[in-house]
A and B are shown apart, each in its own frame.
Chain A
Amino acid sequence: MIQLTKLIIGHQSELLRLENIMLSSGNVYALIGRNGIGKSTFIQTVSGMQKALGGDILLDGQSISGFMSKEIAETISLVDTRFEGVEYLKVKDYLALGRAPFTDAFGRLTPKDWQVVQDVASELAITHLLEKFTDQISDGERQLCSVGRAFVQETSVILLDEPTAFLDYMNRKLLLELLVRLAREKKKCIVLSTHDLDLCLDQSIPFLLAANGEINLHATLTKEEILLAMT
């Protein structure tokens, strides 16, 4: 569970602010808003990569400002923009990197670590990709792998920055359904930024609406209300 209180985000000048938002486990939240309004900055801030200009982020009651980078990596994972694949990096090794916060100084993986990789792979139905190189699979498959890596990290919070941006309609739909299901089953708190209003409405995902310099949580919104708020 994340609690955001009086949070002010931005690089040097303020982009967005919010009063008090509670994001609970088991749910997917869709962060929507127009280009350049500060969605990515919001995600970066919650992930701990970017300092907030004010306010606090509490994880299960603890402020993340006191966290070491390793502690953050054990509680929050971020699927950042587009993963382009790396030559000769196999999918299984890419997924296994998600275990990095938990492995020893030499990065050696225990059988348990490999088991996590296997489990996540079968959960996401990408077992057949494990032995393939990350630069030789399709965009959709690669995006699934990125999501998989976040799940391998076994964090309670998963943030995704426009995970559906490079996918075709079917893959967008499947990815969103998958995230909703996994959030419920694995008790994860998932926040994703997206422009796919229709898909989110279909899944009746709660919205984090960024507009007019503010972020507000809405359990339900109609398309008309969203469009009105954004203009």
Chain B
Amino acid sequence: MKDWSLKWVLICLLCFLPLAMYIHLISGQIEISYSSYFDSFFHFDSHNTNQVLVREFRLPRLFMAMIAGAGLSLSGMFMQTLFKNPLAGPYVLGINSGATLMIALSLLTGVQFFQSNFGLIGTALIGAFAAGLFMMLVAQRLKSQITLLLVGLMFGSFTSAFVSILESLAGAESLKSFTMWSMGSLEQVEFSQLGIILVVFSFGILGSFLLVKPLNMLVIGEKSAALLGLPIKSVRMFVLLLTALFAGLVTAFCGPIAFVGIAIPNLTRILFQTTNHRYLIIGNSFIGAIFLLLTDAFIQLLEGHLSIPLNALTSIIGAPFVVFLLMRKLR
């Protein structure tokens, strides 16, 4: 009983990713020759402007687009399976808000520790995890899927009120850097930070594959899964931790990026027509990466004329898609 159509979709995605990477690389404003790309890796010359451009801007941005796209999609997929709600996602359920609040606290209060890589990832992760835990507790007392989304929305408003207060108290310099961050961008990451980001991301991917069986069981509901011998409580914690890891990582370095986490997992399910998470994890990673590569490529293309915040563009594409999903599923 093998599903060949699934394999074909996978192969298509596998071919499409390098193409999207290529499009992303060539859509920058300054034309860079292939040899510069090659040399920046193997014979790096810090006086060659093009090579510096590749190393400090093009490559970090390329990798961040892929990591952010894949990470947000995966964290959305986890939430949708865990809450058994196709409209769940790190953004609507306040996971991003949790991370944002913690980052606002660290950026706006100006404590040095929080500005380091570890500090930034750590605080965002804690904020995201705490928000996830809170939503989990609320979800257990609710029956309606819509109510949960409304609670997520309220939680978002609640935290953003605190963020506003923090903003009003902050100094001009830290306020500027926070505002820049909150617009969402893939350009902030430096080459030197890529290492740690890749390590954290790889751990997340590894953990995701360990969760394939529990996630596949959760599809039929927590109670049925428990009856099949699944230790629900620890699985719940593990899934939330991974959700927070991906959402926290991306939010820490790229700012809030809306709608990717809710739209891509749905798109993946529609394309793959399966609930098997072995395929959904791979699918979400690839489709999320491709989506953000192309979105960011579009932003790069327009950069000479106007600079669109990434968060704005993903919302413009994502919001109508979510409305479409609403009309299809929850009418």
A and B part of one assembly: yes
**Which A residues form the contact surface with B (CB < 8 A)?**
47, 49, 68-70, 72-74, 77-78, 80, 83, 86-90, 92-94, 97-98, 100-101, 103, 105-107, 114, 153
A97/B216 contact (C-beta < 8 A), A87-B269, A88-B274, A88-B275 known: yes
A89/B227 contact (C-beta < 8 A), A105-B210, A106-B212 known: no
* A-side contacts of B273, CB under 8 Å: 88
Minimum Cβ distance to chain B for residue A129 (Å): 14
Apart from A49-B227, A92-B1, A93-B276, 13 more pairs, CB < 8 Å: A73-B228, A88-B272, A88-B274, A89-B220, A90-B274, A94-B220, A100-B213, A100-B229, A100-B230, A106-B209, A106-B278, A107-B216, A107-B217
Bound state CA distance, A94 and B221, in angstroms?
12
Bound state CA distance, A103 and B216, in angstroms?
13
Measured CB to CB, the nearest residue on chain A to B228 is A100
- Listed from nearest, the 7 A-B pairs whose CB atoms lie closest are A107-B213, A73-B229, A70-B229, A100-B228, A89-B275, A101-B229, A69-B229
* B-side contacts of A88, CB under 8 Å: 269, 272-275
**Which B residues form the contact surface with A (CB < 8 A)?**
1, 86, 209-210, 212-213, 216-217, 219-220, 223-224, 226-231, 269, 272-276, 278
Q: How many A-B pairs fall under 8 Å by CB? A: 67
* B-side contacts of A153, CB under 8 Å: 228
* A-side contacts of B274, CB under 8 Å: 88, 90, 93
The reply to whether A97 and B217 form a contact with Cβ atoms under 8 Å apart is yes
Bound state CA distance, A87 and B274, in angstroms?
8
Minimum Cβ distance to chain B for residue A187 (Å): 22
Bound state CA distance, A86 and B81, in angstroms?
11
* A-side contacts of B226, CB under 8 Å: 49, 69
Which of B219, B229, B231, B278 is close to A74, meaning CB atoms less than 8 Å apart?
B229
Which of A69, A70, A74, A86 is close to B275, meaning CB atoms less than 8 Å apart?
A86
Bound state CA distance, A69 and B231, in angstroms?
8
A77/B213 contact (C-beta < 8 A), A83-B220, A86-B275 known: no
A80/B223 contact (C-beta < 8 A), A97-B216, A100-B213, A105-B213 known: yes
A-B contact pairs, 18 of them (CB 8 A): A49-B223, A49-B226, A49-B227, A73-B227, A80-B224, A86-B275, A88-B272, A88-B273, A88-B274, A88-B275, A89-B219, A89-B220, A90-B274, A94-B220, A97-B228, A100-B228, A100-B230, A106-B213
